[in-house]
Amino acid sequence: MISVAVSHDIERALLELLGGDSGSSANALIHDGIPLSALDRLNEFGLAPTEIGIVSSRALRQRRIQGKPLTLREGDCLYRVARLALQADVLFGSRQKALAWLHQRRHSLGGHSALHAAFTTLGLLAAEELLGQLKHGYCA
Protein backbone atom coordinates (compact mmCIF):
# COMPACT_ATOMS: atom_id res chain seq x y z
CA MET A 1 0.00 0.00 0.00
CA ILE A 2 1.29 3.44 -0.86
CA SER A 3 1.75 5.70 2.15
CA VAL A 4 1.95 9.47 1.89
CA ALA A 5 3.10 11.26 5.04
CA VAL A 6 3.51 14.85 3.85
CA SER A 7 2.69 16.78 0.70
CA HIS A 8 6.27 16.89 -0.63
CA ASP A 9 6.10 13.10 -0.89
CA ILE A 10 3.20 13.20 -3.36
CA GLU A 11 5.37 13.16 -6.48
CA ARG A 12 7.40 10.21 -5.16
CA ALA A 13 4.23 8.34 -4.18
CA LEU A 14 2.72 9.11 -7.58
CA LEU A 15 5.75 7.70 -9.39
CA GLU A 16 5.59 4.61 -7.17
CA LEU A 17 1.90 4.13 -7.95
CA LEU A 18 2.60 4.47 -11.67
CA GLY A 19 5.32 1.83 -11.47
CA GLY A 20 8.34 4.12 -11.64
CA ASP A 21 11.17 4.94 -9.27
CA SER A 22 13.05 8.04 -8.18
CA GLY A 23 14.93 8.12 -11.50
CA SER A 24 11.73 7.95 -13.52
CA SER A 25 9.76 10.71 -15.15
CA ALA A 26 5.98 10.51 -14.98
CA ASN A 27 5.80 11.83 -18.54
CA ALA A 28 8.15 9.11 -19.81
CA LEU A 29 6.13 6.44 -17.97
CA ILE A 30 2.92 7.70 -19.56
CA HIS A 31 4.46 7.78 -23.05
CA ASP A 32 6.11 4.36 -22.67
CA GLY A 33 2.90 2.81 -21.35
CA ILE A 34 2.17 2.53 -17.65
CA PRO A 35 2.14 -1.12 -16.55
CA LEU A 36 -1.20 -2.64 -15.58
CA SER A 37 0.12 -3.22 -12.07
CA ALA A 38 -0.45 0.52 -11.51
CA LEU A 39 -4.19 -0.15 -11.76
CA ASP A 40 -3.86 -2.76 -9.02
CA ARG A 41 -2.13 -0.18 -6.80
CA LEU A 42 -4.90 2.36 -7.51
CA ASN A 43 -7.41 -0.31 -6.55
CA GLU A 44 -5.52 -0.86 -3.27
CA PHE A 45 -5.85 2.87 -2.65
CA GLY A 46 -9.62 2.45 -2.87
CA LEU A 47 -10.36 3.50 -6.45
CA ALA A 48 -11.43 0.82 -8.91
CA PRO A 49 -10.05 1.87 -12.34
CA THR A 50 -12.84 0.18 -14.30
CA GLU A 51 -15.57 1.68 -12.11
CA ILE A 52 -14.28 5.24 -12.39
CA GLY A 53 -13.69 4.92 -16.13
CA ILE A 54 -9.93 4.91 -16.63
CA VAL A 55 -10.18 1.71 -18.65
CA SER A 56 -13.11 -0.54 -19.54
CA SER A 57 -13.33 -4.04 -18.07
CA ARG A 58 -13.14 -5.53 -21.54
CA ALA A 59 -10.04 -3.54 -22.52
CA LEU A 60 -8.38 -4.41 -19.22
CA ARG A 61 -9.02 -8.14 -19.76
CA GLN A 62 -7.56 -7.92 -23.27
CA ARG A 63 -4.47 -6.04 -22.08
CA ARG A 64 -3.85 -8.58 -19.31
CA ILE A 65 -4.10 -11.44 -21.81
CA GLN A 66 -1.82 -9.68 -24.30
CA GLY A 67 0.54 -8.31 -21.64
CA LYS A 68 0.16 -4.76 -22.96
CA PRO A 69 0.42 -1.58 -20.85
CA LEU A 70 -2.05 1.28 -20.67
CA THR A 71 -2.50 3.48 -23.72
CA LEU A 72 -1.25 7.06 -23.66
CA ARG A 73 -4.79 8.35 -23.00
CA GLU A 74 -5.43 5.85 -20.20
CA GLY A 75 -2.05 6.51 -18.61
CA ASP A 76 -2.61 10.26 -18.71
CA CYS A 77 -6.02 9.83 -17.10
CA LEU A 78 -4.56 7.52 -14.44
CA TYR A 79 -1.88 10.12 -13.68
CA ARG A 80 -4.45 12.90 -13.17
CA VAL A 81 -6.76 10.76 -11.01
CA ALA A 82 -3.91 9.37 -8.89
CA ARG A 83 -2.38 12.82 -8.43
CA LEU A 84 -5.66 14.24 -7.16
CA ALA A 85 -6.33 11.21 -4.95
CA LEU A 86 -2.90 11.44 -3.31
CA GLN A 87 -3.32 15.18 -2.74
CA ALA A 88 -6.71 14.60 -1.09
CA ASP A 89 -5.24 11.80 1.03
CA VAL A 90 -2.53 14.13 2.34
CA LEU A 91 -4.93 17.03 2.97
CA PHE A 92 -7.59 15.03 4.80
CA GLY A 93 -5.17 12.72 6.60
CA SER A 94 -7.67 9.91 6.13
CA ARG A 95 -8.12 7.66 3.13
CA GLN A 96 -11.82 7.31 3.89
CA LYS A 97 -12.37 11.09 4.03
CA ALA A 98 -10.31 11.60 0.89
CA LEU A 99 -12.33 9.01 -1.02
CA ALA A 100 -15.61 10.54 0.16
CA TRP A 101 -14.44 13.99 -1.00
CA LEU A 102 -13.31 12.62 -4.37
CA HIS A 103 -16.70 11.01 -5.04
CA GLN A 104 -18.95 13.86 -3.86
CA ARG A 105 -20.56 15.96 -6.59
CA ARG A 106 -19.73 19.65 -6.37
CA HIS A 107 -21.54 22.64 -7.82
CA SER A 108 -18.18 24.35 -8.37
CA LEU A 109 -17.17 21.45 -10.65
CA GLY A 110 -20.28 21.70 -12.78
CA GLY A 111 -22.15 19.17 -10.67
CA HIS A 112 -19.46 16.54 -11.14
CA SER A 113 -17.24 14.80 -8.62
CA ALA A 114 -13.57 15.68 -8.34
CA LEU A 115 -12.78 12.25 -9.82
CA HIS A 116 -14.89 13.00 -12.86
CA ALA A 117 -13.33 16.44 -13.16
CA ALA A 118 -9.84 14.91 -13.15
CA PHE A 119 -10.52 13.26 -16.50
CA THR A 120 -9.46 16.54 -18.11
CA THR A 121 -6.52 18.78 -17.30
CA LEU A 122 -8.76 21.80 -16.71
CA GLY A 123 -10.99 19.74 -14.43
CA LEU A 124 -7.96 18.52 -12.49
CA LEU A 125 -6.80 22.11 -12.02
CA ALA A 126 -10.26 23.13 -10.77
CA ALA A 127 -10.35 20.22 -8.29
CA GLU A 128 -6.81 21.03 -7.11
CA GLU A 129 -7.91 24.62 -6.58
CA LEU A 130 -10.73 23.37 -4.35
CA LEU A 131 -8.23 21.32 -2.34
CA GLY A 132 -6.07 24.43 -2.02
CA GLN A 133 -9.03 26.41 -0.73
CA LEU A 134 -9.74 23.73 1.86
CA LYS A 135 -6.09 23.65 2.88
CA HIS A 136 -6.16 27.39 3.53
CA GLY A 137 -9.49 27.35 5.37
CA TYR A 138 -11.90 28.43 2.66
CA CYS A 139 -15.17 26.60 2.11
CA ALA A 140 -15.07 24.50 -1.02
pLDDT reading at 2 higher than 50: no
| Domain range enclosing 70 | 10-135
Residue 2 lies in a domain: no
Q: Is residue 68 part of a domain?
A: yes
Could you tell me if residue 3 is inside a domain? no
pLDDT of amino acid 22 = 74
**Model confidence band, residue 136 (pLDDT cutoffs 50, 70, 90):** confident
- Report the domain count for the chain: 1
Residue 97 resides in a domain: yes
Flag whether 114 is in a domain: yes
User: What does the pLDDT read at residue 8?
Assistant: 53
Q: Is 1 within a domain?
A: no
Q: Is residue 5 situated within a structural domain?
A: no
Own/partner pairs for 42-47, CB < 8 Å, 24+ apart? 42/17, 42/78, 42/81, 42/82, 42/85, 44/1, 44/2, 45/1, 45/2, 45/17, 45/82, 45/85, 45/89, 45/95, 46/95, 46/99, 47/81, 47/85, 47/99, 47/102, 47/115
pLDDT over 80 at 140, yes or no: no
